Structure 1
Amino acid sequence: MQKTHLFLGAGLLLCVLSGCTMAPRYLRPDMPVPAQLPIADSQGQAGTDVSDIGWQTFYTDPGLRQAIATALENNRDLRAAALSVESYQAQYRIQRAALFPSLGANGSWSKQRTLASGQYVTGEMYSAAVGVTSYELDLFGRVRSLKAEALEQYLGQVATHRSAVISLVAETARSYLSLLADRELLAISQDTFKSQGESFGLVQQRFESGIANSLEIAQSRTMLEQVRASLAQYQLQSEQDKNALNLLAGVAMPDPAGGQRLEDHDLTLQLPANLPSTVLLQRPDIQAAEHALKAANANIGAARAAFFPTISLTGQAGYMAPDFGDLFDSKSGVWAFTPSISIPIFTGGRLTAQLDLAEIRKEAAVVNYEKAIQTAFREVADGLAARKWLAERVAAQKALVDAAQEYYKLASFRYQEGIDSFLTQLDAERSLFAARQTYVTLRLAQQNNQVNLFKALGGGWQQ
């Protein structure tokens, strides 16, 4: 019977020393969204994991790649996020160190003159010792729970940094594409201004010849000034886009190669026909939310352990002698061992309130985790929906541009032949100008949607 009790006691001690904690068992909450994402409109490779697609694979333009690489190296916000990760890593190392006893050595020498029995006596004392100070025996897992909490907080910051990388890559891509779009709109305005200037000159000649009237002169001038205003607008937007790109990159970026258009950037993310919602779990922001939940779960273990006694050990061993020559003599050895125990008896409800607070924070972390998943689901669903309908709108707008081009060509010919009025040609030119502008704007929206969808599925943090 005594052997049985001995084995049970040894097993219990082994369990305590091997890392048992009072934290509740962690169970990942169910996903509060449908099991499947909306059906993608394209057919890709089965099992495609977008989070494994690097940004250099998705973005093929050399200028855009250079902008993203420069931003990842020099962006100040990303640097701040990286430093935050390092600070949480240091905090985790500090908390982990509490699992081990801290050894320290000290030496001292004292000399004093005192009055004893009516006589002054001068004495010296030398000492040297090595000891452990206030090492807590983690019998109930309080220190291990705090270490687990610090670890999860550190891992959450790692995931947050990855999320910052994804956001920076997407923001840089959007800024670069906006610059190309505004440059293209500026070029369209310049072409229209040139052709409208020629039309205005032709109307003036016809007016001087008595063929055109003053109303046609006013109509042509109105269109010319409208295009001039567009020139100033897109010139301003182009410069602001360049400034935004430089801020993201952290340095002054070279201008994109001349003549580049959005037509040259066909960003298409190939997806399987059916995407399970579990792919959202690869998003760094959701991983960060789950690490926060795990940290809150570990904190409950620390709050529970606070109800039990805390045992601390302090001890030292060394030498003490009145003469330095005798300091390390075998007869000069001294030691001290001071275990202490602290038992909470009455705390006015403080420990109970701390446990309640820890449990409430865990429930809040569950809510935040579920909200992160729901937000991610909506972002992907919106991206997939916009992907389909933007493609149709772009195709329809391209056909409208072709029709407007033919309309303008016929209207110009008929006006020059005196068949139709100048108002018809003016209307045709306005229609063509507006159609070309809308087409570029829709192409930008389509490309930005691909960027956002790539980001929403967790892609872009790898090279």
Structure 2
Amino acid sequence: MSRRALLCGLLLLSGCNLAPRYEPPPVAMADQFPSPETHGARAPELPWQDFFHDPVLRDLIGKALDNNRDLAAAAARIEQARAQFRIQQSQRLPSVNLGGSADRLRAAVSPAEDAPRVTVDSYAVQVGIPAFELDFWGRVANLSESARRQYLSTVEAERAFRLSLIANVAASYYAMRSAEEGIVLAQKSLDSRRETMELAQLRMDVGFTSSIDYNQSYTLVTQAETQLAQLKRGREQTLHLLQQFVGVPLPDPLPPSLPLEDTTQIAPLAPGLPSDLLNDRPDVRAAEERLRAANANIGAARALYFPTIALTGAAGYASDELSNLFSGPNHLWTFGVGATLPLLDWGRRRSQVELAQGQRNELEATYQSTVQNAFREVADGLSATQHNAEQIQAQIRTVEAQAALVTTAEDRYGVGLTPYLEVLDAERNHFAAEQTLLQLRASDLQDRVNLYAALGGGDLPPPQKTVASHDR
């Protein structure tokens, strides 16, 4: 066999890849979302700066993306995965070492007791290639591909965390704004009830009414005080959570913002098609990258059934005199090829292949579950935004009716047609209806934010150092 034929055969072997051919696993998913089509921009094409119109919220999200410690940890994990990929990638090329030595040996020229002793010097300098695996079966290439896919999955996981952080900051912000507006309502209700209690006391003092009306009005005041304290506690706890997300101290109170009833503070969204989620959701992309990494690991495990062929070589100079170390006669070189194949491993290689296949099957199921969960989250978000509008409109009518009922009850009580208990119930129901309306409006904004995150968000680049997703 000629050298050229041998070289061609080695080149063909070096392109061998024993990993299964990757194909995206099928996912049972509807062609359309079960909700009427809405008009607006697609979430991946809409940066969060354009999705949120509240300047205070935009400022908080920007600070969170710069200062959140969990996000910083996610970025650090990207650097770790990137370095691990480069470590594995370096094994595809031979490393070159430079070595040198200088030795002096003092020994007798013979075993005789009076034998003379001589001193021998030796010097050497060489450049060598340690054992370099010739990747005929694709083992090193598949390990490198697996490390690259793990790195890319870490990048996508960081993007998913960014999107989750944006949603969490917005949800906490709207919850706090709801509590603040609830506190204003509770304070107004408390002031009104205190005035009513004072009036009831005057009426009781002059003997116009009994103590029953006064005690009932007093109960209404204490209830309002309790509700006000609960709202203040909830607002402070939400502020603490928001501050943890943002990562820096926040002023208390925050600057004035848009009211919850302003429906234009969030841009409308178009859901697109369910199949878009495969490309739009960073968590779905991360799950697929992990699956592709596991697929490459199968090829690396299968390659263990074949011989490991390693190449070694060195060239340099050796002499017993330092002055003429680099002269021609002192030049030397060595070259070698070795192969090893385990003959008896008691099922170790077979088990390694089965392990890699089992891990791939697990990650395939995880990927399919991630896609299905993404579809559910979008469907839930679309349903929520549709029915939230209906609930809010119905609750507005409820608040108006309860307000009218309070006026009627006060008029009837003023002329003695009804007991004060009717006024008490009307005011309590009116206050509860107003608080419910605030909660519905806050929930609507939170659901729309969750829908934005479920659709994949937009403008979520990783840190500049981690953009090199095509390093090979």
TM-score interval, smaller chain: over 0.9
1:299–1:358 Cα contact (<8 Å) kept? yes
1:325 is matched with which residue: 298, 323, 326? 323
2:126–2:316 Cα contact (<8 Å) kept? yes
1:174-209 deviation line (CA, Å, top 9, x unaligned): 111111011111111101000000111111111122
Q: Indicate the residue corresponding to 2:35 in structure 1.
A: 39
* Distance in structure 1 (CA, Å) of the matches to 2:451 and 2:170: 13
Unmatched runs of 5 consecutive residues or more in structure 2: 462-472
Cα shift at 1:12: 4.3
Q: Indicate the residue corresponding to 2:133 in structure 1.
A: 136
1:109 is matched with which residue: 102, 107, 110? 102
- Give the 5 Å matches for 1:205-284: 205-254=202-251, 255-258=253-256, 261-264=259-262, 266=264, 268=266, 270-272=268-270, 275-284=273-282
- Give the 5 Å matches for 1:24-423: 24-44=20-40, 48-117=41-110, 118-254=115-251, 255-258=253-256, 261-264=259-262, 266=264, 268=266, 270-272=268-270, 275-423=273-421
1:162–1:461 Cα contact (<8 Å) kept? no
* Distance in structure 2 (CA, Å) of the matches to 1:11 and 1:338: 20
Per the alignment, in what secondary structure is the counterpart of residue 263 of structure 1?
coil
Cα shift at 1:151: 0.4
* Distance in structure 1 (CA, Å) of the matches to 2:271 and 2:289: 31
Cα shift at 1:383: 1.2
* Distance in structure 1 (CA, Å) of the matches to 2:395 and 2:188: 19
Cα shift at 1:376: 1.0
1:87-139 deviation line (CA, Å, top 9, x unaligned): 00000000000011100101111112111121111111111110100111111
Per the alignment, in what secondary structure is the counterpart of residue 150 of structure 1?
helix
Per the alignment, in what secondary structure is the counterpart of residue 134 of structure 1?
strand
1:195-245 deviation line (CA, Å, top 9, x unaligned): 000111111111122212111011101110000001111111111111111
Cα shift at 1:365: 1.1
Query: Which stretch has the larger CA shift, 166-175 or 117-126?
Result: 117-126
2:75–2:158 Cα contact (<8 Å) kept? yes
Unmatched runs of 5 consecutive residues or more in structure 1: none
2:87 maps to a residue whose letter is I
Query: Which stretch has the larger CA shift, 244-253 or 333-342?
Result: 333-342
* Distance in structure 2 (CA, Å) of the matches to 1:213 and 1:188: 30
1:108–1:127 Cα contact (<8 Å) kept? yes
1:451 is matched with which residue: 449, 452, 458? 449
Cα shift at 1:274: 5.8
2:20–2:295 Cα contact (<8 Å) kept? yes
* Distance in structure 2 (CA, Å) of the matches to 1:461 and 1:422: 58
1:280–1:457 Cα contact (<8 Å) kept? no
* Distance in structure 2 (CA, Å) of the matches to 1:10 and 1:319: 29
Change (3 A) 1:60 1:12: farther
Cα shift at 1:347: 1.4
2:18–2:303 Cα contact (<8 Å) kept? yes
Per the alignment, in what secondary structure is the counterpart of residue 133 of structure 2?
strand
1:75 maps to a residue whose letter is N
Cα shift at 1:11: 5.0
* Distance in structure 2 (CA, Å) of the matches to 1:314 and 1:213: 107
* Identical counterparts, % of pairs: 39
1:269–1:454 Cα contact (<8 Å) kept? no
Q: How many residues were matched structurally?
A: 456
Change (3 A) 1:10 1:330: closer
1:35 maps to a residue whose letter is D
Cα shift at 1:385: 1.4
1:181–1:261 Cα contact (<8 Å) kept? no
Q: TM-score, normalised by structure 2?
A: 0.92
Per the alignment, in what secondary structure is the counterpart of residue 215 of structure 1?
helix
1:257-315 deviation line (CA, Å, top 9, x unaligned): 24753224645553448633333442111111101110111011101111111111111
* Distance in structure 2 (CA, Å) of the matches to 1:229 and 1:107: 83
Cα shift at 1:443: 1.0
* Distance in structure 1 (CA, Å) of the matches to 2:263 and 2:269: 19
2:249 maps to a residue whose letter is A
Output the aligned Cα RMSD. Answer: 2.0
Cα shift at 1:386: 1.5
Please identify runs of 4+ aligned residues in structure 1 that moved more than 6 A: none
